Structure 1
């Protein structure tokens, strides 16, 4: 009877050890799967954030270009006005400047 009890205790201990060993293996597998899922989710979030960042940057650049068009057009118009100044106006301006220089230096 004592041997039978000892035998049942040993069987129970062996069974408990098997259960614990399986639990340890399963817990390691669960942890490994969780780490893989976490990494995949992290990568997905980073990729999504990068796409959103690029989209925001592209939109801001397009908006900046659009907002600068009036200033650019005005600058082009000013350049064209200067380039299309008549020889008569240029000669008049040169003579005016020369006259002022001569008058200023003549009074010294």
Structure 2
């Protein structure tokens, strides 16, 4: 009877060792899968952020170009106005300035 109990204990120990080995392997696999999932998620987040950043950059450049175009158009009008000043007006202004300088 003692021999039977000893065999049962040894069998139970062997089964326990096998269960522990299997649990260790499964936990390693879960850890590997989790690590891989974290890497994949991180890469996806980085990719999404790069795409969003690219879109924001393009939008900012487009808005800046629109602002520059508006400013250029305004300045172009100002230059045209300056260039369209009548020669008589320039002479008139020059005479007024001369009179002030002389006085």
What interval of TM-score do these two structures reach, taking the shorter chain for normalisation? 0.7 to 0.9
How far apart, CA to CA, are the structure 1 residues paired with 2:71 and 2:79? 12
Cα offsets for 1:3-52 (capped at 9, x unmatched): 12201211110111111011112101111111111111111012102211
1:53 aligns with 2:35: no
RMSD over equivalenced CA pairs, Å = 1.9
Aligned residues: 103
Partner of 1:73: 73
How far apart, CA to CA, are the structure 2 residues paired with 1:63 and 1:23? 59
Greater CA drift, 29-38 or 94-103: 94-103
| Gaps in structure 1 of 5+ consecutive residues | 104-108
Partner of 2:62: 62
TM-score by length of 2: 0.82
Greater CA drift, 9-18 or 77-86: 77-86
Partner of 1:97: 97
| Gaps in structure 2 of 5+ consecutive residues | none
